[in-house]
Amino acid sequence: MEDARKYFGTDGVRGVYGGGLMNEDFAWRLGAAAARFALETGAAPGAAVIIGRDTRTSGGSLEQALAGGLASAGLKPLAAGIVPTPAVSLAVRESQAALGVVITASHNPATDNGIKFFGRSGVKLTDREELRIEQLLPAAGGPPNPAELPRYGAHVLYTRTVSALLPAGALRGWKIVLDTANGAASGTSRTVLEKLGAELVLVGNRPDGQNINAGVGSQHPEKMCAAVRAAGARLGIAHDGDADRCVLCDEFGEVLDGDEVLAMLAMRAVQTQRLVANTLVVTVQSNLGVDALLQASGARVCRTQVGDRYVIERMLSEGATLGGESSGHIIFSEISPTGDGLVAALKILEVMLAAGKPLSELRQVLKKFPQRSATLQVREKKPLASLRHLTAEIQAVEAELGTSGRVLVRYSGTESLLRLLVEGPAEIRVNACLERLLAAARLELEVV
């Protein structure tokens, strides 16, 4: 079914701050519409809405505007301040607030910002719920909230909850590099890891409002890797700007991808008989090696479209509690109802502590199928079905690979990017197939 949403993408509304979409007027309208939606779906007048944000300079004024819209429609906005996205999700679930809102553009540069919502269970809204908010948008904005917002201590609840995942002092004697991308976790992740006894080497921990994700964090792990090698650390942990993502490197400064992380977590759960529903949920982006590993262990893999909210929706429907994306969004729904970079890191540390082995050895559990991907920045996201040459080439490659491989071609939900992936039994064939797809795409799309 074609997506009817106009403003919401894979992870909320996102755009360049000050542009036609991400500005104070639209934030006010979005707040008013979200409040109308919450009241329409059972929230009581005056119910609380918890608002968190990352370290971008634009977050403060967007917060005031959003709060004005929420208040205008009869809800009570509360400010959680600068906190990771999962802290807001957890706070909403624990407090039974009407909504949670995070003002963030995640891994995007500081020039961007965004707004995403969580329902009363702490889970991101569905496509249908976001469409309903769009339908309730008022025609014009209004004044921002003039007073300082009441505070809600989401960071206290979050650090207390997450710290309890490992025994007190469990990381004493561990040297760890922590890169918080100059973002929302600059305080919380450090607090938790130091409380557990870790000796930290800090990267990307001096946010100034403009340097979020700038050459650091999960999108730029090079500094983390270099710091691990220089310090002789056991591993490196990197977040994105809102800390719902985790990228790790081993003791040699070699980056792990999310599939390796998921494989280690899933196999630990299988071995301890804690893989609920005997199921791991991943997206179509994950390597087929994950399926082979789980199937050989008597478990199963369910796949969904890209986006951690689609992962959690499938987890709920399957009764599973572990899932994630190869990009580093890992979800332990028994702990946090959304992707949580710090929880994922702590769970990997738990695996390391239990096995007594380094990451370089533990990551070998996953034998990946040859895979190659590419990204094209495009002028216009033309419907894929209208691209005759590309469609024909996709069908030809799929027929050639058969059941031993796969093709994935999709647009990014947040950027003007076409993403292509080919996976198969032999690297030479995979490379050739991807080049054929790229050539076909360039025939019909204007590449920037």
Which active-site residues does the annotation give?
106
- Provide the β-strand partners of residue 81: 52
Structure tokens at 242: 């809102």
Q: Which residue, chain included where needed, has tokens 């957890």?
A: 90
DSSP string, 406-446: EEEEEE-SSSSEEEEEEE-S-HHHHHHHHHHHHHHHHHHS-
In this structure, are residues 402 and 337 in contact, taking their beta carbons and an 8 Å threshold?
A: no
392 secondary structure, DSSP code: H
Nearest of 39, 190, 19 to residue 108 by alpha carbon: 19
Residue with tokens 């949670």: 100
| Residues whose CB is less than 8 angstroms from the CB of residue 403 and which lie 6 or more positions away in sequence, other chains included | none
CB distance 151 to 141 below 8 Å: no
> For residues 283, 284, 289 and 290, what is the CA-based torsion angle, rounded to 10 degrees?
20
C-alpha span between 133 and 39 (Å, rounded): 11
Say how far apart CA 237 and CA 199 lie, in whole Å.
13
- Look up residue 325 and give its two tokens: 């994306």
3-state secondary structure 278-310: HEEEEECCCCHHHHHHHHHCCCEEEEECCCHHH
